[in-house]
Each structure stands twice: as structure tokens, then as C-alpha cells.
A and B are shown apart, each in its own frame.
Chain A
Amino acid sequence: MEPVIECRHLTHCYGRRKIYEDLSFDVPRGRILGLLGKNGTGKTTTINILSGYLEPRSGECLIFGENIRTLTPQTRRRIALLIEGHVQYQFMTIEQIERFYAAFYPAWNRDAYYGLMEKLQVAPGQRISRMSCGQRSQVALGLILAQNADLLVLDDFSMGLDPGYRRLFVEYLREFAKAEGKTVFLTSHIIQDMERLIDDCIIMDYGRILVQMPVGDLLRTFRRYSFRCPDDARLPSGEGFYHPAVVRGRGELCSFASPEEVRFRLEEAGIPCEGFTAETLNLEDAFIGLTGKY
């Protein structure tokens, strides 16, 4: 499938602190891709590079085939950008901000915006600065949807939203993206939302991408294994075993390898595998299994 976003060999540092090196990934057309990672792994850095507000030390990003540093206004019109913290012009009212943005986007969907605003119980003349944090987030999301862009880049879209609105937005966004063939690239700290929404995920660790794959494949193939073993046992690490640990006589590790292979490798390392169990995980547990609990 033709990629909408192509990032090639990205390297970026803040001072001497390297965020990542030689990072490459694609986002195919019509897919919803979630970027997951712990704090400080470079999610917002990636979004900033993608939106053209950060020049990487090296490497390049293309959106719709154009370098993001030199995007034409026509291409920028096809990209909806949600900035971290749902930033919007706080000096405008609900009506003024809609009137302002509508002038720039020929495919502007006024009904989508006002449809979401009706759920807010605020007056159209209310200034955004006088709204609650959650309400401001909803205004920002309403504007993003009304833009009717081909690519949506959403940084931490669920921040400040109550559970009901989060669910509503996730369902609305997924239905909208699938029905209209939109491409979505997003980050969020609430992984349960991501599980309902995204097709593919990129899981980042400090300085690198751990996995990039369809969420369905990840949830089907990534397992947590546990077994009884002595507290002083040295579990094999590396080569597809993530965060092996022994706690109170119970060994635990995560892996993409099959149960047979894991069992074989443990026995080869002299680990008795009594009570050996394998369980598939939800996205949050898979994320923790891959990145560790700090």
C-alpha cells in the first residue's frame, strides 16, 4: 500500500541527549497507526518533526511525497494537526474559531463541528479561554474532524477528555477514518483507547522502534509466559525474550516465540518449567511486556 508518511533515517538529539538514531517508518494510506512509548522516548519529537516544527539532526520525512520542511500550502491543507495539549486560539469563541478555519478548507464540514459542540452544553458565543480543559479539547477535536483532511496527525488526543467523550470520539474517529479512507497517525497515553482505534502500532523504546506491526498480529503472537522456578535462577535474556524476571519463585517473560520454543529454550538453560503457562495479552499488557515496568 502506498505510504502517506515516510520517515527515513531520522536522528535527533536535544543537546547531548540522543532521542533516537536512524529511525525509519512508513504509514500506509487508509490505516490508523498509533505511536506508543513511555515518556521521553520521542513520541512528541516525532510528531513535531512530522508537523514541520522541528528540524531533525539528520534524515527526512515525506508526507504525500513532499518533504515536510518544504510542504506546499495545498499539501498542508490535506493534513489536520492536533497539537499536544489540544492547543487552540483561546481568544476566540466557538463560532469565531469555526468561521476562521472554514475559510481555509474547501471541504470544511460545519455539521461535524457543531454536531460535537452540541454535546458540550456551552453557548456558541463562549470564549474558549473560559472553558474547562476537557471542553477545550473537544473544541480542538471538533475542528480537526471538520477540516475533513486526508491525513490526521493527533498528538495525545485523549488528554483531558472524560471517559464518555473519549469513547465517543474514538468510535466517531474510527468510523470516519474507515468510511472516508483517511490516514491517521496518533499518540495517546491511554492505551485502552488505542486498542479500540488503531490498525497498526509502533512501539518505541529509548532510542529505537521495538515493533511496528498490525495490532491484531501483535495481540495474537505476543505472549506472557510464567512458570515456577527457583528465586536464584538465571533466566535466558535477549533474542526475543523481553524483561525476564523471577519474583517469589515464579518466573515471567514475554516473547513473540511459540510456547514450544520458549519451553525448549528455558529447559535448555536448565530452568525447570513446572506450571508453565502462556497467555495472550491486551495492548496495554503487551506494551508493558515489551517496554518493561521502568
Chain B
Amino acid sequence: MWKALLYKEWIKTRWYLLLALSVTLGFAGYALLKLHRAVALTGAGHIWEVMVTRNAVFIDQMQYVPLLAGLALAAVQYLPEVHRKCLKLTLHLPVPALATLGVMLAFGVAVLAVLFGLGIVLLAAGARPLLAPELVGNILHAALPWYLAGVAGYLLGAWTILEPTWKRRILCLLMSVLLLRLFFLAPVSRAYGGFLAVLALLSLCAASLSWLSVVRFMAGRQD
């Protein structure tokens, strides 16, 4: 049964995942290409100096890519469920509703983890020949909140899409925007420090919000 639930999610998302993989890796690759070009033009010493003295990370252009990837995954996965109330079919399956939702969310978080993991590996592998390990660490630390924003965006997107009424959906949207703002407070390395762990916890807690939407759906709430 669990395999069947995953099979459904796979059918919905497989083409999107291919696209998301290309775009995410494409942006990371483009950022690296620019870094390599800058090193070739001005020399590694200058780039190192700029990174240390001005907190530059050279990957700003991919700041919102993980967030967009997460939001789009939520749309691809959950819009077909709310279209003509297909969610009724999913919740009527002989599996506890909470477990069904858990599998769907876990699938989404897992594929994002793979997607973003590959992005991080690419960034690290691409920057390592040019930069000192500490500077590569700076780049990854700057990118971590953005990747976390992708996971949080996915979970908050699921919450908003599954919500059965428009009034409440708008409220969900506003709250999601405010929460997601937290991930983009400072696009520099190590700006979040220990707060990054709080952000990670917050992102995972956002998973429970979707259950509220499902409970409201099962109670027949409507505009």
C-alpha cells in the first residue's frame, strides 16, 4: 500500500522533478561558471580577498531557486488532489488519513532533499579547486537557509493548497510569506549562526500544518 501511495506521487511529479533537477543544478552550475570566470579574469587571490573582506559568496543569483522549486513541487503534488476534490479519493483509501498525508509529505521532502543535496555537492565540488575549504564552507553556509526555505516553502505550500476555503487560504498565504521572509534576512555567510537549527526545526514543524487543512477538508468546511 505504501508503495502504491509513493507510485501515485511519482506519477504526478516525475516530469517536474526532471525539470527541477535541471534548473536547480543549472543555476548552481551557472553560479560556479561565473566564479570560475571571475577567478580567471582577476585571479584567485583577489576573489579570496573579496570573499573574506566583503562577505561575498558569488552565488546570489540562485537565492530564490530552491524556494521556487519547493513551491512548484507543492503545486505539482497537491493541486491535482484539490482539483475537483480528488483528495476525497485519497482519504477514502484504506489507510489512516494521517499516514497517507505523512507519506505524501515525506515523499516531497525526500525528493527535495535529494535535489538540494545534489546542488550542494555540485557547489562544493565546483568551488573546491578554486577556493580554500573555509571559503567553500562560507558559500555553503550562505546557501543553507535558501535550501531550507525550499523545504519550508514546500510544506507551507502544501498547507495552503490543501486548505479547503479561500478566505483561510489567503490567511495561510500571508502567514507563509511572513515565515519564508525569515530565510532571506541576510544573504551572507554564517549570518544565521545557531538560528539555522531553529529555522530547520521550524521548517519541519510546518509539516503538521497540512494536517490542519486535511482535518478541515474532512469536516466539509467550505466558503
Is B1 engaged at the interface, CB distance under 8 Å to the other chain? Answer: yes
Q: How large is the interface on B (under 10, 10 to 19, 20 to 34, 35 or more residues)?
A: 20 to 34
- Chain A proximity of B205: nearest CB distance (Å): 26
The complex places the Cα of A74 from the Cα of B86 at a distance, in Å, of 21
Report A-chain residues with C-beta under 8 Å of the C-beta of B12.
Answer: 91
- Contact digits for A29-54, partner B, Cβ 8 Å, 1 yes 0 no: 00000000000000000001001111
Query: Which parts of A96-135 form the interface with B (CB within 8 Å)?
Result: 96, 99-101, 103-105
- Given A55-B220, A89-B8, the answer on whether A76 and B80 have CB atoms closer than 8 Å is no
Is B40 engaged at the interface, CB distance under 8 Å to the other chain? Answer: no
The complex places the Cα of A163 from the Cα of B183 at a distance, in Å, of 58
- Chain B proximity of A243: nearest CB distance (Å): 33
User: Judging by beta carbons under 8 Å apart, are A83 and B85 in contact?
Assistant: yes
- Chain A proximity of B186: nearest CB distance (Å): 40
Is B128 engaged at the interface, CB distance under 8 Å to the other chain? Answer: no
From B3, B96, B217, B218, A103 is in contact (CB under 8 Å) with B3
From A76, A81, A104, B1 is in contact (CB under 8 Å) with A104
The complex places the Cα of A50 from the Cα of B31 at a distance, in Å, of 55
From B1, B92, B93, B219, A55 is in contact (CB under 8 Å) with B219
User: Judging by beta carbons under 8 Å apart, are A90 and B92 in contact?
Assistant: no
Highest count of chain B CB atoms <10 Å: which of A85, A91, A96, A99: A91
Is B194 engaged at the interface, CB distance under 8 Å to the other chain? Answer: no
- Chain B proximity of A16: nearest CB distance (Å): 15
- Contact digits for A41-84, partner B, Cβ 8 Å, 1 yes 0 no: 00000001001111100000000000000000110110101010
- Contact digits for B81-118, partner A, Cβ 8 Å, 1 yes 0 no: 00111101101111110000000000000000000000
From A53, A90, A96, A101, B88 is in contact (CB under 8 Å) with A53
The complex places the Cα of A89 from the Cα of B217 at a distance, in Å, of 18
Is A11 engaged at the interface, CB distance under 8 Å to the other chain? Answer: no
The complex places the Cα of A54 from the Cα of B216 at a distance, in Å, of 9
The complex places the Cα of A51 from the Cα of B85 at a distance, in Å, of 13
How many residues on A have C-beta within 8 angstroms of the other chain's C-beta atoms?
27
Report A-chain residues with C-beta under 8 Å of the C-beta of B185.
Answer: none
Is B41 engaged at the interface, CB distance under 8 Å to the other chain? Answer: no
The complex places the Cα of A77 from the Cα of B8 at a distance, in Å, of 18
User: Judging by beta carbons under 8 Å apart, are B96 and A51 in contact?
Assistant: no
Is A87 engaged at the interface, CB distance under 8 Å to the other chain? Answer: yes
User: Judging by beta carbons under 8 Å apart, are A100 and B4 in contact?
Assistant: yes
Is A88 engaged at the interface, CB distance under 8 Å to the other chain? Answer: yes
Is A92 engaged at the interface, CB distance under 8 Å to the other chain? Answer: yes
Report A-chain residues with C-beta under 8 Å of the C-beta of B95.
Answer: 73, 104
The complex places the Cα of A104 from the Cα of B3 at a distance, in Å, of 10
Is B7 engaged at the interface, CB distance under 8 Å to the other chain? Answer: yes
Residue of A nearest to B2 (CB): A103
The complex places the Cα of A203 from the Cα of B94 at a distance, in Å, of 31
User: Judging by beta carbons under 8 Å apart, are B84 and A53 in contact?
Assistant: no
Is B178 engaged at the interface, CB distance under 8 Å to the other chain? Answer: no
Residue of B nearest to A93 (CB): B11
User: Judging by beta carbons under 8 Å apart, are A74 and B94 in contact?
Assistant: yes
Query: Which parts of B1-28 form the interface with A (CB within 8 Å)?
Result: 1, 3-4, 7-8, 11-12
Report B-chain residues with C-beta under 8 Å of the C-beta of A76.
Answer: 92-94
Report B-chain residues with C-beta under 8 Å of the C-beta of A48.
Answer: 220
User: Judging by beta carbons under 8 Å apart, are B7 and A53 in contact?
Assistant: no
Q: List 25 A-B contacts (CB under 8 A).
A: A48-B220, A52-B92, A53-B88, A53-B217, A53-B218, A54-B219, A55-B218, A73-B94, A76-B92, A76-B94, A79-B92, A81-B88, A81-B92, A83-B85, A87-B84, A87-B86, A89-B80, A89-B89, A90-B83, A91-B11, A91-B80, A92-B11, A100-B8, A103-B1, A104-B1
Q: Which residues of B contact A (CB under 8 A)?
A: 1, 3-4, 7-8, 11-12, 80, 83-86, 88-89, 91-96, 217-220
Told that A89-B89, A104-B95 touch, could you supply 16 new A-B pairs with CB distance under 8 A?
A52-B91, A53-B88, A53-B217, A54-B220, A55-B220, A73-B96, A76-B94, A81-B89, A81-B92, A87-B88, A88-B89, A90-B86, A91-B12, A92-B8, A100-B4, A104-B94
The 8 A-B pairs of least Cβ separation, nearest first, read A54-B220, A103-B4, A77-B94, A73-B94, A55-B219, A76-B94, A87-B84, A81-B92
